[in-house]
């Protein structure tokens, strides 16, 4: 028996959640008032969880390093949110959303969680509309939907290209309602530095006020990490500049297992890198693939202007290879095919690291006004960044790191292996397996926050003592001291390299070796290079200023220090998984056509890594069981 107890309820898959809700322990209203919950991160998962828990009567504190909860990176999600509403009468159902998600994740997600996600997906839309989220509507006044990659139904609700923004503002308003009622206390510009574990149980956190530099401890009967993904380990990603792994990583170092760290989604439609100064990559919504056609010139090295390349000399490779799904294949498939084309020398643009996404035919077919209405803001953004007009010239796109399916291992109740410590949204690993479908991240964040944690947290809280640990307890003081020492140590190095210089280099090691495709030899080499980079960091980083005031370099360095440990585990995880699945394409394990070939006999598990006190990791396996789901070879042909 593994040390991992996923606590999946008994019973048929479709009844597990209902049964669980019926059996879960409850906390009486008068007792909820005695319980403190700390929510770290105020994106979709954090804000929705904080709001919902406050409504139930718990005392909630929220923490964000942003100057306002509304700025969390959920805000940048463009395309939409999936829901099994079947408003289109096109055959959608909870089961179909469940199956698409499981299949899209290449059968590496936990079935029970995914089914629950599909079950609550409809409630999310109801909740958001009630909050005033202005989803796109038909002239009849009802909600409209659009298609997304990896599915054959139209189940994605959206608010132009700003769905994440509108959903986050909805969750933020719910959070504000809690702050207004006094049930939530919000801490902004306050960053988690560590979690406090006493006798194996999570009892609080240590945070730093980013303006004054002061460290402070907060006690909580439960701590929820809603801190997003770790794509910035690669330096260049579509994540916001400040997105980081520190909260999850600190928890990991204190005993929370980290699952499937190498499962990183590379998004196929991003604006290509333009120079060394590049600070981040900008995503162009996947919804563009509804109408845009992806192509490269048939002849390698063809440097003609795209509009001068005649139809017969263009290779619409996705439509050619995957006639059933065409340009709407899942993200992993689209990304790796773009890489293959560029590897063959057919890449376009100055760097040769791009393919075209062409709207010429769609504009001809629907007319420019329709395309403008659908994608106007995205086209404008593209033009602002590249100075090229996508109405006239095909967009140039290239894959970029976007989302991390891996994250803290959690059980069915979203609790990590540290009792009292929970992980929600992108910060956990549970729902997307080895590849996430478009428009599912928003769904998962809000599902966890609005409809899962308010129930499942009761299971833990009902069984614990209500006494509070004072924050002058030695355990808090020790963690504060350690956190302070680390900051002072970083400041004292005074080497010759800036934080960004090291981050760029370490990120490139990951991108080159643990990116769209991986192989054993490169991963093994990368492991050494990466460790050397970490040593370089601790010897050569140079940070100006002090820890006693607003110091953005110090913040960055403190986050990079954690990325530099996580990256090693990502490589280890990629190395150990000797199969291909979803985003994890090991070149040794692919079909002649370049598709991922799984090894279900040996690797049908979630890899949960335990950090060892003396460094290094122990691997624990959560074997994935599927009920009446045939583990087929994914095919989008």
Restricted to residues 148-167, the positions that interact with another protein (CB under 8 A) are 159-160, 162, 164-166
Please state, in angstroms and rounded to a whole number, the distance separating the CA atoms of residues 514 and 524.
Answer: 10
374 in catalytic set:
no
Of residues 201-240, those binding another protein (CB under 8 A)? 211, 240
Which one of 31, 93, 152, 282 is in contact with another protein (CB under 8 A)?
282
* 267 close to 238: Cβ distance less than 8 angstroms: yes
Q: Which C-beta is closer to another protein: that of 66 or that of 518? A: 66
In the window 539-558, what residues touch another protein (CB under 8 A)?
542, 544-545, 549-550, 552-553
In degrees and rounded to multiples of 5, residue 2 shows phi and psi of -70, 160
| Contact criterion met (CB below 8 Å) for 136 and 158 | yes
Q: Residue 245: is it exposed, middle or buried by C-beta count within 10 angstroms (0-12/13-18/19+)? A: buried
Cα–Cα dist 196/222, whole Å: 11
Closer to another protein by Cβ: residue 214 or 241: 241
CB of 85 to another protein, least distance (A): 7
Residues 313-372 that bind another protein (CB under 8 A): 350
**Contact map string, positions 467 to 506, toward another protein, x by CB under 8 A:** -------------------------------x-xx-----
Site string for another protein, 361-400 (x = CB under 8 A): -------------------xx--xxxxx------------
CA distance 38 to 476: 15
Selected range binding another protein among 70-78, 333-341, 529-537, 621-629, rule: CB under 8 A: 70-78
For residue 365, CA distances in Å to 15, 288, 333, 368 come to: 46, 15, 27, 9
Contacts of 530 (CB under 8 A, 6+ apart): 506, 509, 510, 564, 567, 568, 571
- Minimum distance, C-beta of residue 478 to another protein, in the bound complex (Å): 30
For 535, other C-beta atoms within 10 Å of its C-beta total: 11
Looking at residue 497, what DSSP letter applies?
B
DSSP state of 187: E
Q: Give the three-class secondary structure for 338.
A: helix
The catalytically annotated residue of 331, 374, 534, 598 is 331
Q: Does 280 bind another protein (CB under 8 A)?
A: yes
Structure tokens at 509: 């090691």
Q: Does 576 bind another protein (CB under 8 A)?
A: no
> Closer CB to another protein, residue 127 or residue 335?
127
Site string for another protein, 499-528 (x = CB under 8 A): -xx---------------------------
Stretch 239-278: interaction string toward another protein, x if CB under 8 A: -xxx-------------------------------xx-xx
With contacts defined by CB under 8 A, name the span among 1-9, 118-126, 465-473, 590-598 that binds another protein.
118-126
Instruction: CB nearer to another protein: give 315 or 501.
Output: 501
> CA-to-CA distance for 54 and 115, rounded, in angstroms?
26
Q: DSSP string of 233-274?
A: GGSSSSS-TT--SHHHHHHHHTT--EE-TT-EEEEEEEPPP-
Both tokens assigned to 408: 């803290």
Q: How far is the CB of 111 from another protein (least distance, A)?
A: 25
- How many residues interact with another protein (rule CB under 8 A)? 84
Alpha-carbon gap, residue 184 to 260, rounded angstroms: 33
Task: State the maximum Cα–Cα separation within the chain, in Å, rounded to a whole number.
Answer: 74
Q: What are phi and psi of 178, to 5 degrees?
A: -65, -35
Which range of residues in 180-188, 261-269, 525-533, 604-612 is near another protein by CB under 8 A? 180-188
599 part of the interface to another protein, by CB under 8 A? no
With CB under 8 A as the contact rule, the residue among 134, 345, 369, 616 that binds another protein is 134
Question: Catalytic positions, please?
Answer: 331
């Amino acid at each position: 028996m593994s040390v991992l107890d996923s606590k999946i309820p008994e019973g048929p898959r479709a009844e597990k959640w209902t049964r669980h809700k019926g059996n879960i322990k409850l906390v009486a209203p008068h007792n909820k008032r005695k319980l403190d919950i700390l929510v770290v991160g105020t994106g979709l998962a954090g804000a929705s969880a904080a709001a919902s828990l406050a409504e139930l009567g718990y005392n909630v504190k929220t923490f964000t390093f942003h100057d306002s909860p509304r700025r969390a990176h959920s805000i940048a999600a463009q395309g939409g949110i999936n829901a099994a509403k079947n408003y289109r009468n096109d055959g959608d159902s909870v089961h179909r959303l469940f199956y698409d998600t499981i299949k899209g994740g290449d059968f590496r997600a936990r079935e029970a969680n995914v089914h629950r996600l599909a079950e609550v997906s409809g409630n999310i839309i109801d909740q958001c509309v009630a909050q005033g989220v202005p989803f796109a509507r038909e002239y009849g006044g009802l909600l409209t939907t659009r298609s997304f990659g990896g599915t054959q139904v139209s189940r994605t609700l959206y608010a132009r290209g700003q769905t994440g923004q509108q959903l986050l503002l909805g969750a933020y308003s719910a959070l504000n309602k809690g702050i207004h009622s006094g049930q939530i206390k919000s801490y902004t510009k306050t960053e988690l530095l560590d979690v406090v574990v006493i006798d194996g149980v999570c009892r609080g956190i240590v945070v730093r006020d980013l303006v004054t530099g002061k460290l402070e401890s907060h006690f909580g009967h439960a701590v929820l990490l809603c801190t997003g993904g770790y794509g910035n380990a690669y330096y260049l990603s579509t994540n916001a500049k400040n997105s980081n792994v520190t909260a999850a990583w600190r928890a990991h170092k204190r005993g929370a297992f980290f699952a499937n760290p190498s499962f990183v989604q590379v998004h196929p439609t991003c604006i290509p890198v333009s120079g060394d100064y590049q600070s981040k990559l900008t995503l162009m919504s996947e919804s563009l693939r509804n109408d845009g056609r992806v192509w490269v010139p048939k002849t390698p090295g063809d440097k003609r202007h795209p509009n001068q390349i005649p139809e017969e000399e263009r290779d619409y490779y996705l439509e050619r290879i995957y006639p059933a799904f065409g340009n709407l294949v899942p993200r992993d498939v689209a990304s790796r095919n773009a890489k293959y084309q560029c590897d063959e020398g057919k890449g376009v643009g100055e760097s040769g690291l791009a393919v075209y996404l062409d709207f010429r035919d769609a504009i001809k077919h629907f007319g420019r006004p329709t395309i403008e209405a659908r994608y106007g803001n995205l086209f404008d953004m593209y033009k602002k960044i590249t100075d090229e007009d996508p109405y006239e010239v095909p967009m140039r796109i290239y894959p970029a790191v976007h989302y991390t399916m891996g994250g803290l291992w959690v059980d069915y109740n979203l609790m990590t292996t540290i009792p009292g410590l929970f992980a929600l949204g992108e910060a956990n690993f549970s729902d997307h397996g080895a590849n996430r479908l478009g428009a599912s991240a928003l769904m998962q964040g809000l599902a966890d926050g609005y409809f899962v944690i308010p129930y499942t947290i009761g299971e833990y809280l009902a069984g614990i003592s209500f006494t509070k640990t004072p924050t002058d307890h030695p355990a808090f003081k020790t963690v504060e001291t350690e956190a302070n020492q680390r900051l002072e140590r970083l400041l004292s190095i005074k080497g010759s390299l800036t934080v960004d210089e090291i981050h760029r280099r370490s990120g490139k090691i990951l991108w080159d070796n643990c990116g769209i495709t991986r192989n054993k030899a490169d991963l093994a080499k990368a492991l050494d290079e990466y460790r050397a980079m970490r040593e370089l960091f601790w010897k050569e980083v140079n940070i100006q200023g002090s820890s006693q005031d607003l110091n953005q370099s110090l913040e960055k360095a403190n986050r990079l220090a954690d990325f530099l440990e996580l990256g090693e585990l990502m490589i280890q995880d990629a190395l150990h998984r000797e199969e291909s699945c979803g985003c994890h394409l090991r070149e040794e394990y692919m079909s002649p056509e370049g598709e991922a070939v799984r090894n279900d006999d040996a690797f049908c598990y979630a890899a949960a890594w335990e950090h060892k006190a003396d460094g290094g990791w122990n691997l624990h396996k959560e074997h994935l069981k599927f009920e009446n789901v045939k583990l087929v070879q994914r095919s989008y042909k």
